[in-house]
């Protein structure tokens, strides 16, 4: 248990609490992910598959990179993924009415640990973690919406309205109060963050990659997974964080890199074909995300 969190509630059998990954895992998807899908409803469904895969395999961050500057739908993808990740009880406050979210009713629920179903103060556990949105400030602190029948006080907190934060529930007699904590200190998987990076692959590699990042590209032209398995395992053992990079419906990573004057091998420690001998002409980006994360999840678990 992390410092300062020894007072967290023991998860009940009704809740799904899984530990966060020891090695942060991020995925990078192109802004043209939905370019081959004409209708907003189908675009929303496609993005939803990526969101589900990210949550299933405990991805910490989804990076949307603008693979063709001025093209693609980065803001649509960001809005849908962020909407999926937000607890249901906060969505109206955080998003309101947005035309991009017209078809979010078709999205599957994530049911991650920070999407609790309990909606009454009487059901809150001492030490429970909840996501909340600051509604207004008072002399004693801030009143916060954490998805129960009334706003609860976070004593001494100073924050702007509509600020989303993570809180620990504290029961003091008949009073139920909130204590803010850093999302990074939550010991459980607590959903993914969503960010957009401009400037193509160059922008992605310069802004999203640190010296200790293991960058793995995915491509049909990459090294077959079976041949690269030993090297992949060695790299995973040494990695401090992992970034998986996926191509677009119309352009693979090698094509993108060539168009931008890059050598892909200089920016990716490994470029893998994670679906060797595929039985279809093309593998869609959302399908590659699911397949690659499933394989990586096994390798990180053994």
- Structural domains of the chain, ranges and CATH numbers in brackets: 25-111+191-301 (3.40.1280.10), 121-184 (2.40.50.140)
Mean pLDDT by 10 residues, the chain (302 residues): 55 68 96 95 98 97 95 96 97 94 96 92 94 97 97 97 97 92 94 97 96 96 96 96 96 96 97 95 95 96 84
Tokens 């399908």, residue?
287
Asked if 110 and 84 count as a contact pair (C-beta separation under 8 A), the reply is yes
CB within 8 Å of 81: residues ≥ 6 apart: 47, 50, 51, 54, 62, 64, 192, 194
pLDDT at 173: 84
Q: What pTM value is reported for the model?
A: 0.93
Q: Which long-range contacts does 158-163 make (Cβ < 8 Å, 24+ apart)? A: 159/134, 160/134, 161/134, 161/135, 161/136, 161/137, 162/93, 162/94, 162/133, 162/134, 163/133, 163/134
pLDDT at 9: 61
């Amino acid at each position: 248990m992390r410092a300062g969190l020894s007072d967290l509630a023991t998860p009940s059998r009704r809740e799904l609490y899984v530990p966060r990954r020891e090695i942060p895992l991020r995925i990078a998807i192109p802004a043209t992910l939905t370019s081959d899908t004409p209708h907003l409803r189908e675009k929303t469904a496609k993005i939803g598959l990526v969101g589900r895969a990210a949550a299933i395999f405990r991805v910490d961050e989804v990076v949307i990179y603008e693979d063709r500057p001025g093209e693609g739908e980065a803001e649509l993808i960001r809005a849908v993924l962020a909407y999926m990740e937000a607890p249901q009880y906060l969505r109206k406050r955080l998003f309101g009415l947005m035309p991009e979210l017209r078809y979010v009713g078709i999205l599957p629920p994530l049911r991650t640990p920070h999407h609790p179903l309990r909606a009454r103060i009487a059901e809150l556990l001492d030490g429970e973690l909840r996501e909340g949105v600051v509604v207004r400030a008072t002399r004693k602190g801030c009143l916060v919406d954490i998805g129960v029948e009334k706003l609860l006080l976070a004593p001494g907190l100073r924050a702007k309205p509509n600020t989303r934060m993570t809180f620990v529930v504290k029961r003091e007699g008949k009073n139920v109060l909130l204590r803010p904590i850093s999302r990074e200190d939550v010991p459980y998987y607590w959903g993914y963050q969503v960010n957009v990076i401009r400037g193509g692959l160059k922008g992605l590699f310069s802004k999203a990659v640190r010296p200790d990042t293991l960058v793995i590209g995915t491509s049909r032209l990459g090294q077959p997974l079976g041949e690269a398995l030993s090297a992949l395992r060695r790299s995973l053992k040494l990695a401090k964080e992992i970034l998986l990079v996926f191509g677009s419906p119309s352009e693979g990573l090698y094509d993108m890199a060539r168009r931008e004057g890059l050598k892909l091998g200089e920016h990716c420690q490994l470029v893998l074909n994670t679906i060797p001998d595929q039985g279809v002409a093309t593998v869609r980006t959302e399908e590659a995300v699911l397949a690659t994360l499933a394989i990586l999840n096994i390798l990180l678990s053994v």
